[in-house]
Amino acid sequence: MSTTTAKDSGLKAPKTTMPTTTASLGTKRKLICFSDFDGTIFMQDTGHILFNAHGCGSEQRELLDEQIKSGERSFRDVSEEMWGSLNVPFADGFEALKDGLEIDPAFKEFHQFCLNNNIPFNVISAGLKPVLRSVLDHFIGEEAASNIDIVANDAEISEDGSQWKPVWRHDNDLGHDKSLSIAEYKESAQLESEDGTIPMIIFIGDGVSDLPAARHSDVLFARRGLRLEEYCVEHKLPYIPFDTFADIQKEISKIAKADEEKTKGEGLPSIFNPRANMWRRASSKKSVPIFASMTPREEKVFIWPETFSELKPVQEGVSVQA
């Protein structure tokens, strides 16, 4: 769940840009995409729409969001209160989502581009999987949505809508630690293609809460004008800004072709996360242990933070900023 979206910040939904081709890239290296949902694929936050319409209301929700930002309460604790405030059957709540959500105007074309190039596209979110699945089914169609894996929290929702209870993926203050989910994916996936090259991991997001996952990626896309971009600029972290998924598609096409021509991306060091690029550049299974043995030394100079949403003790008279 993103705490700042384009609509929340006063930004207008991006205009549709010129269509880009969805043809095959024809490159050898496998690409894998992970994307945030709220504020990234959709301009608004699914939870915020539901809470404002059928739960605690916008004023209380904003107060609860501030408790997360200040560290007074954990994301998981506050989220349980927000979801628990809902009292609406799922179908009725979904009507508010259909009316209140705007999808990125170029997402459908980008998803088709991924399908044409055999690029796995995974949603990774702190929201509730049943909600996100229904939203995707409605906005892009069930057939297209069936090709998208959603990594999110499950939920127990009573038939009369009097109880909405998150079923958390992880037993920690985040409830769903996106960095753990991507790490789990890496462990379970076949990370090498037939010619021995290692896939390029791409992450797309909008908020600072996306950075724990983004640190495991090779290339980070941040929605322009929102908190993730601000953080990257402030801390001089490598990223590529985007207004719509058409921008992402164009950049991925450029990166993939340059990667093909310049020995697995050696000519593009400025856009890569240095820690993730360490393992990506290994060209065979035999070389992976060598890079793995370098991890402690690499960690000392690695600039990407380990976590961005930790519970902090609040001292009396002291204002704690996120």
Q: What is the DSSP string of 230-258?
A: HHHHHTT---EEESSHHHHHHHHHHHHHH
Strand blocks (E) in 158-199: 164-167
What is the dihedral angle through the alpha carbons of 70, 75, 77, 83, rounded to the nearest 10 degrees? 120
Annotated catalytic residue: which of 38, 45, 65, 210? Answer: 38
Alpha-carbon span 101 to 78, nearest angstrom: 23
Alpha-carbon span 52 to 39, nearest angstrom: 16
Whether residue 33 contacts residue 120, with contact meaning beta carbons closer than 8 Å, is answered with: yes
Q: How many residues comprise the chain?
A: 322
Could you identify the residue written with the tokens 């799922």? 90
- Identify whether 36 is a catalytic site residue: yes
Residue 245, C-beta contacts closer than 8 angstroms, at least 6 positions apart? 41, 104, 106, 107, 109, 110
Alpha-carbon span 253 to 257, nearest angstrom: 6
- Identify whether 247 is a catalytic site residue: no
Residue 179, C-beta contacts closer than 8 angstroms, at least 6 positions apart? 212, 213, 215, 216, 306, 307
Annotated catalytic residue: which of 8, 36, 99, 171? Answer: 36
Residue 184, C-beta contacts closer than 8 angstroms, at least 6 positions apart? none
Whether residue 142 contacts residue 169, with contact meaning beta carbons closer than 8 Å, is answered with: no
Could you identify the residue written with the tokens 């896939």? 199
Alpha-carbon span 42 to 136, nearest angstrom: 10
Q: What residues act catalytically?
A: 36, 38
